[in-house]
Amino acid sequence: MSRAQNNPRRRGKQSLSGGSSALGVRERLLAAGVEIVSEVGLDTGLGRLNFEEAIKRARVARATAYRQWSTKEAFGNAVLVELAKGLYLTSDFVAEVPAIIADMVGDGSALATPQGRRNLIVDLTRTLVKGDFESILQSPSWHLHTALSAASPSLTDPELRTSATAALHVSDQRRIEARAQLYGQFTAFAGYRLRAPLAGPSGFRQMSEAAGAAFTGFLIRAQYDTTVTAETMRLRAFGMSEPRQWSPQTFASTNGIFSYIEPDPGITWDQERISDLLLTDFTSLFHAPQL
């Protein structure tokens, strides 16, 4: 249940659309470089990044461009930093969450008993972490983030290296905060609470940090190992009375979430609460985090 999106192609085109007077020479060249890399992908983009092509796209004088960067390598390193600065991890999956929850809650009959509620909340968690992971796995921004994370330590210019790692850190912190807000929303809906001694926003942030680390590990492994997402285990897990299909990723992610939250004993699941929940607009309850 995290958020993840980036569009370096859009960033580059928007930067170049305003004409030579809209931006300085350096900014226009960087925007052209970002545009080129976004077209071919980062894995091959820096190696195929043609400084002359960037100069042509930026519509600047060649001599002026070379006064900014004397070599192709220096320009490529600067483009890498620009990519890191423009990286914003979001995910379209959050828009699907309200409909998924409404469909699985149905008429609310499962909420009437403790076991029914446990079955529903665990199954919801399994479904959401699966959908979130699949969305992220297909997201160009996550692949870009992984590639930038691998490439930035190799920058020879200390100032550029510091700028790149700082930009990646900012994108990570945004992602952590977004996921923390979503976990808080889900926990409130489920009638759960953070396990002591964690509490409040800082507790959900800690939960998000841990979940993000696990997600990243599975995302990297899923690039070469399809068994990560293969639902080969049919189990009654995490207190469910009914079996469900689990993959290594959904099992580990669900386990991680329930290690941080538990049913709130202060909440009474009477008919009034269930009726109120059924009247809830899940779209307003599960909204895009404000960052």
- pLDDT band at 249; cut points 50, 70, 90: very high
Please say if the pLDDT value at position 16 is more than 60.
no
Share of the chain above pLDDT 90, in %: 45
- Total residues found in the chain within this entry: 291
In a domain, 291, yes or no: no
pLDDT > 60? residue 21: no
Last residue of a domain, one of 86, 101, 123: 86
- The answer on 159 and 217 residing in a single domain is yes
**171 plus 30 within the same structural domain:** no
Residue 213 belongs to domain spanning = 92-286
Residue 10: count of CB within 10 angstroms of its CB: 13
Verdict on whether the full-model pTM lies above 0.85: no
- State yes or no: pLDDT of 290 exceeds 80: no
- Residues contacting 262, CB < 8 A, separation 6+: 192, 193, 195
- Round to whole Å and give the CA distance between 51 and 62: 10
Question: Same domain, yes or no, for 234 and 116?
Answer: yes
Same domain, 249 and 183: yes
101 in a structural domain: yes
State the average pLDDT for the chain: 85
* pLDDT value of position 8: 44
**pLDDT band at residue 150 using 50, 70 and 90 as cut-offs:** confident
| pLDDT tens for each residue of 205-222 | 999 999 989 988 998 899
Q: What is the mean pLDDT of residues 38-59?
A: 76
Question: Residue 13: inside a domain, yes or no?
Answer: no
144 and 98 fall within a common domain: yes
Is 110 within the bounds of a domain? yes
Which residue, 203, 186, 185, 205, is CA-closest to 194? 203
CA gap 12, 36 in Å, rounded: 8
Q: Domain boundary residue among 86, 121, 137?
A: 86
Task: Please tell me the total count of domains within the chain.
Answer: 2
Q: Is there a single domain that holds both residue 161 and residue 243?
A: yes
Res. 86 pLDDT band, cuts 50 70 90? confident
Average pLDDT over residues 121-135: 94
